[in-house]
Amino acid sequence: MSDRSDAPTTVIRLDDYRPPAWTVEHVALVFDLGIDRTEVDATLQMVRAAGDEPIRLNGEGLELLELSVDDRRLVEGEYILANGLLEIAVDAEHCTLRTKVALRPAENTALEGLYLSGSRESGFLLTQCEAEGFRHITFFPDRPDVLSRYTVTLRADRQRFPVLLAGGNPDGSGELPDGRHWARFVDPHPKASYLFAVVAGRLERISRDYTTADGRAVALHVWAEADVIDRCDYAMDSLVRSMQWDERTYGRNYDLDVFHVVATHDFNMGAMENKGLNIFNAKYLLADPDSSTDDEYRHVEAVVAHEYFHNWSGNRVTCRDWFQLSLKEGLTVFREQSFSADMNSAPLKRIEDVALLRRAQFPEDAGPLSHPVRPSQYSEINNFYTATVYEKGSELVRMLAGRLGTEGFRRGMDLYFDRHDGQAATIEDFIEALGDANDIDLSSYLAWYGQAGTPRLTAEGRFDPAQRQYRLTLRQRTPATAGQPTKQALPIPVRLSLFDRSGRALPLRLEDEARAEGTERTVVLDTAEQHYVFEDIDAAPVPSLLRGFSAPVILECDYQPEDLAILLRHDPDGFNRWEAGQQLAGLAYDDCRDARADGPALLAWTGALAELFADASLDDALLAELLTPPGEIELVERQAERDPDRIRAARQAMLLALALRVGAAPLRVRYEALRASTSAAMDATSQARRQLKRRVLDLLALIDAPLATTFALAQYEQAPGMTDRLAALATLATVAPEQAIAPIAHFRRRYEGNALALDKWFAMQAQLPGADALARVQALEGDPSFMLKNPNRVQSLVGTFARSNPTGFHRADGAAYRWLADRLVAVDGLNPQVAARVATAFNGWKRLEPTRREAAHAVVAELAARKDLSRDLTDILGRVAL
Ligand code: 0A1
Ligand code: ZN
């Protein structure tokens, strides 16, 4: 477990980076595994890399049993062991250093290092080492720029631990006396310690043979406990698709003879890319129609791909230090998003990604936790696995890829992998490789990595009929963020088109060009302000800006509602259409918030959507997205002071206006048609139907609650799979709480013992809005299946309530803030990483209206002043409270 905060907090700074004084060429680990006690014998071949410093090894929570250098046992006084560091002065250029330590896996509730998943009787042992978990297993220079070859021998009781796994290729196994056995693994690829992993216990597997494009035979194994092994096939299929895609798209082949993937119900994050032995939160690996929603199927595919892609973007080329985290994470998210776009629908994928960025990253970037994609300092690195490092990081790679084009980007990536294979690299290395391969200087993009905050891009257009010119002025400005009062101009690629009022894209000719070049182009705004003059324009056009979301900025353009309605009706690109709809919905929201029932934006938005609703040629999934305005969390941006009740009321009013405009009869008819074609099939068409059916039912519920209730009750009973079942339950719980009681209880009984389905049951109820939400959540804490020591369960109830239930969490009396503070303290005692993640729900308190702000401030300040919390939680609270 991490230190308590009364230990001195050290701030680590990027500027202080020094290469390691000693490296480890080879490490041989021997584990004697046991649930209560495990012994680890480590032999490190150490080599001096620079200077005359002593050897310094990290080690936390380890009982040191033996220590020797070149076979000579050291006694006290010959080494220093303090503050998580073991220091040994060695007067040589290399040496063999041996330690033997004891660990207590069953007591490890922080789930970092070696720990037990599940019960003492039937659970299994596994490790989590990123970012700094390896130091909880053995003494080691636990930093990503020390790359070593690993030989790992596992020894354990055969009955209790029949399966023994470690990263690398198998290198023998056999029997030992007393019913014990052993297995050895050798990893030929030097790797950083955070990529080390072992797994031991009773697990089942499904397997497949795979041959890489360069001819290597690979055995693929997906492992899980016996009760869920029949839910692993989709993950295996996804893995094969990922491997083929990376061969095709990036020319990257897998590089070991085996690849293991393991599912656990006890995991702090989504999944982990350990070399040759990926470990997954079961939530992102298991899938079956009866217990997984369509969204979850897509998440499994994406996360399996993400972890697999890390084998190159992260493992073969890793990060020099943790400040470079986005080098592997932003890049891998970008690769994962491209893969998902290729496997599914590209515009829908882009909609999903941009919506997530706005929901999760924009608020982060606008509050006290804001930080650059490459932070310049941290006190707890685990708190930097953020939407900024991941999702904004991916957007930065996307801009670079867009700048180079498909072939140029591939050339750049080939050079990057080639040049830095087997190295720990930096973001500069990445940008340089992309540039060098294309003879382009991309260094101006580095500023994006160092500057926090979401830039505001302002666009102003003026049409000059006499000159037949359209003059577009673009300006940028980034508001100050925590610790960064002044900002510089960034290179912002703005992909744009101009439409005439009949929705036709106009040929684009800039003032000094001889002829028009297509109807879409990208200009790069790299100063505070720039003008672009388009020629041969006959009437005031409608600009379509930032197409495909070409840069992670907030666009401010004083569009007239009719302009946006034109784009919403006519833009041939699904993403841009949605984007125009979102902008228009924002204006429609303003109308509702300011009580303009017949406001022009509201009329334009509902009118355009009613028309699109009637258009049978529109894709069901796209229509479902178009019918979904920005959520309550994104709409926060549209007022200076935030009152979640008023935001929700205004948003509900706009949805009601939409439902009325579309009309009860068309909604009913559409619902019935979609219902008639319902099946359990997982193809895109069936998924799209389910998605649209849900939107239609929720709209119908606003104007004909009794009919929607009847539909929802029947849908719950007849649902062929989880998507329809859960959607019906959520609709019922919102529209007719009394009638939802029995189905909610039924769902609970039906899924007894199915942890992932129960998580959804908790999360669905935790999201129900309103003043009684807190009481509901407190009652759910009394459910026998609720437990604070399981991260998924905490996230599904406590995390969902705090993050995704604005009206419930931000009760004006502050009761939910106090409740959350109590829960954070309790969770922190078990699992600091999870407590810290949930605590980020306090991020936006400063922009609340005064009553709530005061209530939140009191709670946050009191928590932040405590001295008995973990470093993880203290770090978040300290920054949030500022
Ligand atoms: N590298 C993983 C994420 C991860 C990070 C930290 C963890 O434990 C504290 C676990 C996983 C990924 O990006 O998938
Ligand atoms: Zn990752």
| Three-class DSSP labels, 243-279 | HHHHHHHHCCCCCCCEEEEEEECCCCCCEECCCCEEE
User: What is the reported pLDDT for 456?
Assistant: 98
**391 Cβ inside 6 Å of ligand 1:** no
Distance in Å, CA 262 to ligand 1 centroid: 14
The conformation of residue 811, written as its DSSP 8-state character, comes to -
Distance in Å, CA 808 to ligand 2 centroid: 32
- CA 546 – CA 41 distance, rounded (Å): 56
Instruction: For residue 112, give the ligand nearest its CA.
Output: 1
Per the CB < 8 A criterion, the answer to whether 320 and 424 are in contact is yes
Catalytic residues: 307
User: What is the reported pLDDT for 640?
Assistant: 85
**291 Cβ inside 6 Å of ligand 1:** no
User: What is the reported pLDDT for 9?
Assistant: 77
**128 Cβ inside 6 Å of ligand 1:** yes
- Residues within 5 Å of ion ligand 2 by Cβ? 329, 332
Ligand 1, atom 8, lies closest to the CA of 130
Q: List, for residues 205-215, the tens digit of each pLDDT value.
A: 999 999 999 99
Cα torsion through 29, 34, 39, 40, rounded to 10? 20
Q: Is 677 exposed, middle or buried (0-12, 13-18, 19+ CB in 10 A)?
A: exposed
131: cis peptide before it, omega within 30°? Answer: yes
Identify which of 269, 280, 328, 391 to mutate to test ligand 1's pocket (most ligand atoms within 8 A of the CB).
269
Distance in Å, CA 525 to ligand 1 centroid: 35
**336 Cβ inside 6 Å of ligand 1:** no
Tell me the helices (H) and strands (E) count for the chain, helix number first.
29, 31
- CA 200 – CA 163 distance, rounded (Å): 5
Q: What is the largest CA-CA distance in the chain?
A: 96
Write phi, then psi, for 61 (nearest 5 degrees).
65, 25
Q: Cβ contacts of residue 744 below 8 Å, gap of 6+?
A: 729, 733, 761, 765
Per the CB < 8 A criterion, the answer to whether 786 and 798 are in contact is no
**269 Cβ inside 6 Å of ligand 1:** yes
Ligand 1, atom 3, lies closest to the CA of 272
Closest by CA to 90, choosing from 104, 101, 80, is 80
Query: Residue 563 corresponds to which amino acid?
Result: D
Distance in Å, CA 840 to ligand 2 centroid: 20
Q: Is 422 exposed, middle or buried (0-12, 13-18, 19+ CB in 10 A)?
A: exposed
**326 Cβ inside 6 Å of ligand 1:** no
- CA 809 – CA 803 distance, rounded (Å): 8
User: What is the reported pLDDT for 804?
Assistant: 98
Q: Which residues of the chain have pLDDT under 70?
A: 1-8
Sign of CA dihedral 131, 872, 848, 485: negative
pTM for the model: 0.98
Sign of CA dihedral 92, 93, 95, 101: positive
Ligand 1, atom 5, lies closest to the CA of 130
